[in-house]
Amino acid sequence: MAVATPPGEGGVAIVRLSGPLAPMLLKRLHGRVRPKWESHKLYYGPIVQADGQVLDQGLVTWMKAPHSYTGEEVAELHLHGGQALAQLVVQTCLIHGARLAEPGEFTLRAFLNGKLDLTQAEAVQQLIQSRSQIAAQLASRNLTGYFSSQVEGVRQDLLHWLSLLEAEIDFGDEVPGLPLDQSLQRWGRAYEAVDRLLQQGQSGKILADGLRTVIVGAPNAGKSTLMNALLGRPRALVTEIAGTTRDTLEEPLVVAGVSLLLVDTAGVRRDSQDLVEQMGIQRSRQEAEQADLLIWVVDGHATEPPDPDFYQMVFERPHLLLLNKKDLGLAPWTADDQGRLIGLPISLAQGADELWPALEQLVRELVGEQSDVMRLTHRQWETLLRARDSLQSLGETLEAGLSAEFLALDLRAAVQALGQIQGLDVGEEILDRIFSTFCLGK
Ligand SMILES: Nc1nc2c(ncn2[C@@H]2O[C@H](COP(=O)(O)OP(=O)(O)OP(=O)(O)O)[C@@H](O)[C@H]2O)c(=O)[nH]1
Ligand SMILES: [Mg+2]
């Protein structure tokens, strides 16, 4: 039993009970004798304490097992939304023998009773915690089992393949193995499907959580000028003194319909003697590592090309390289051997108009096809990665021409990972970890 509505004052508070004794408790709490109770009907009447004293007038309902959220007998009391009142009803339930539910226990029971698979149970949590409308829409699609059905499609394909391999292992002489081209075809289909789910998950994450967009570069390159130009207001301090920005500055910005968190950082240089600046530089590097998207601002007028350290920091992530201060004339190193510029030439002091199309395009590429995005939990993402690793190894085993036993080993690992996404073969510890993050009463 738990209060299913948030604490505080409100129109209605709901106390929910689940388990075989729920109907009996409901009868005790409802102060009116009813010769016949029907499932899934609302009844109006008094709600009473153990000593018979009336606490409230409200609606009560009983949902007969298995036609309830948890799959068990469920009873709900809809009271006036006062915190003290809800607590009095909770105490009355305790006196009648109920116990308080753990966080997420109702949903855990729904999962254990087969009402939801694990991705759907996780979608309940995602839905409740959604901070943006798009995040809520994506979670609600998972709640219908959309993600599970995609995973199940791949798993069934692999299971079929596995049964063929096992027949080959057990009855080697009578059952011929699959020809290599057919195996490769099956492998390609599964690998692509899993890889696509991961890509869709990446896009979903960007849409739901936004892109952490970090502006990096050497001191004085024009990073803060860029921040201000993109925001359209003088948010960051800009001076001709190298090392002006000491700490990181964050501001939200919407680009191509996607929310970005723009982060201005301290200019990175090797030879800083100033302790505060050194700390700022350290923070800039950390920010760069956590970025979803990097904008590298380079002073294109400088006589020397940028520190090679930057290439390593920037090029392993999605990035945009800006050659700033083109109004002063770009230095020869800004072009490669064929005379092509190594980045987008721009004058940030005159605004970011030329930058918008490139930034919008990059954001669109990162999000991918919007109709095909998927919101994954961290667990789902990690487990999908594990499935893809097993498939990767399966591909190598196939290429090496190893026997059915070896193929079956990789295949089993992939099938197991895909099953775990839906909640098959998942240990108690993992379930505890998932459901303990749920709110009380869900
Ligand atoms: N000529 C010219 N000057 C620019 C341009 N963009 C920025 N500046 C100047 O460059 C200087 C440094 O700009 P900031 O935006 O403070 O540079 P920063 O990269 O944030 O520097 P730190 O915070 O010190 O790391 C300022 O004097 C700007 O006015 C440009 O496109 N052309
Ligand atoms: Mg700055």
CATH of the domain at 272: 3.40.50.300
Probe target for ligand 1 pocket from 214, 215, 238, 247, with the most ligand atoms within 8 Å of CB:
238
- Are residues 85 and 215 part of one domain? no
- Asked whether residue 397 is domain-assigned, the answer is no
Look at residues 49, 81, 112 and tell me which one is the last residue of a structural domain. Answer: 112
Please give the pLDDT value at position 52: 93
List strands edge to edge, sheet with 258-264: 249-255, 258-264, 211-217, 293-299, 319-324, 344-345
- Asked whether residue 349 is domain-assigned, the answer is yes
Which residues hold their Cβ within 5 A of ligand 2, which is an ion? Answer: 223-224, 244-245
Ligand 1 contacts CB of residue 222 (under 6 A)? yes
216-226 tens-digit pLDDT: 999 999 999 99
- Are residues 228 and 106 part of one domain? no
- Count of CB atoms within 10 A of residue 101's CB? 22
Identity (one letter) of the amino acid at 14? Answer: I
What phi-psi label fits residue 114: left (phi over 0), alpha (psi between -120 and 50 degrees) or beta? left
* Cβ(277)–Cβ(266) below 8 Å: yes
d(CA 135, CA 149): 20
Ligand 1 contacts CB of residue 284 (under 6 A)? no
- Asked whether residue 162 is domain-assigned, the answer is no
- Asked whether residue 287 is domain-assigned, the answer is yes
Residue 108: CATH number of its domain = 3.30.1360.120
Q: Whole-model pTM?
A: 0.75
Ligand with an atom nearest the CA of residue 345 = 1
Location of structure tokens 């109770």: 37
DSSP E strand stretches across 225-311: 249-255, 258-264, 293-299
46-91 tens-digit pLDDT: 999 999 999 999 999 999 999 999 999 999 999 999 999 999 999 9
- Asked whether residue 129 is domain-assigned, the answer is no
d(CA 102, CA 121): 15
Atom of ligand 1 nearest to the CA of 219: 25
Considering the chain, what is the average pLDDT of its residues?
A: 93
Q: What percent of the chain has pLDDT over 70?
A: 99
- 276-290 burial, b at 16+ Cβ within 10 Å, e below that, comes to ebeebbebbeebbee
- Are residues 362 and 215 part of one domain? yes
Please give the pLDDT value at position 385: 97
According to DSSP H, which parts of 96-222 are helical?
105-112, 118-129, 133-143, 146-170, 180-209
Ligand 1 contacts CB of residue 306 (under 6 A)? no
Atom of ligand 1 nearest to the CA of 346: 31
- Assign 228 a pLDDT band (cuts: 50, 70, 90): very high
- Are residues 215 and 107 part of one domain? no
71: containing domain: 2-112
* Count of structural domains, the chain: 2
Identity (one letter) of the amino acid at 431? Answer: L
Ligand 1 contacts CB of residue 242 (under 6 A)? yes
d(CA 411, CA 420): 14
Nearest CA to ligand 1 atom 2: 325
Atom of ligand 1 nearest to the CA of 241: 24
Question: What's the CA-to-centroid distance between 238 and ligand 1, angstroms?
Answer: 6
- Count of CB atoms within 10 A of residue 1's CB? 26
Question: What's the CA-to-centroid distance between 223 and ligand 2, angstroms?
Answer: 5
Ligand 1 contacts CB of residue 394 (under 6 A)? no
Ligand 1 contacts CB of residue 328 (under 6 A)? yes
Ligand with an atom nearest the CA of residue 280 = 1
- Tell me the torsion sign for CA atoms 188, 190, 191, 196: positive
- Asked whether residue 101 is domain-assigned, the answer is yes
Question: What average pLDDT does range 310-336 have in this prediction?
Answer: 94
Question: What average pLDDT does range 179-208 have in this prediction?
Answer: 92
More confident residue, 130 or 362: 362
Ligand 1 contacts CB of residue 327 (under 6 A)? yes
Question: What's the CA-to-centroid distance between 206 and ligand 2, angstroms?
Answer: 26
Residue 163, token pair as written in the block: 């049964």
285-301 tens-digit pLDDT: 999 999 999 999 999 99
Look at residues 333, 366, 399 and tell me which one is the last residue of a structural domain. Answer: 366
Please give the pLDDT value at position 278: 87
Atom of ligand 1 nearest to the CA of 266: 25
Question: What average pLDDT does range 403-425 have in this prediction?
Answer: 94
The secondary structure of 365-405 as a DSSP string is: HHH--GGG-----HHHHHHHHHHHHHHHHHHHHHHTT--HH
**Cα distances (angstroms) measured from residue 111 to each of 120, 149, 151, 294:** 9, 16, 18, 41
Question: What's the CA-to-centroid distance between 282 and ligand 1, angstroms?
Answer: 21
Question: What's the CA-to-centroid distance between 296 and ligand 2, angstroms?
Answer: 13
- Are residues 230 and 108 part of one domain? no
- Examine the pLDDT at 4 and tell me if it is beyond 90: yes
Ligand 1 contacts CB of residue 300 (under 6 A)? no
- Asked whether residue 374 is domain-assigned, the answer is no
- Assign 361 a pLDDT band (cuts: 50, 70, 90): very high
Ligand 1 contacts CB of residue 383 (under 6 A)? no
Look at residues 79, 112, 145 and tell me which one is the last residue of a structural domain. Answer: 112
Strand partners, 63: 74
- Asked whether residue 202 is domain-assigned, the answer is no
Ligand 1 contacts CB of residue 322 (under 6 A)? no
19-55 tens-digit pLDDT: 999 999 999 999 898 989 999 999 999 999 999 999 9
Kindly report the CA angle at 220 between 217 and 221, in degrees rounded to 5? 45
Atom of ligand 1 nearest to the CA of 240: 27
d(CA 225, CA 217): 12
Ligand 1 contacts CB of residue 268 (under 6 A)? no
Please give the pLDDT value at position 370: 63
- Are residues 220 and 361 part of one domain? yes
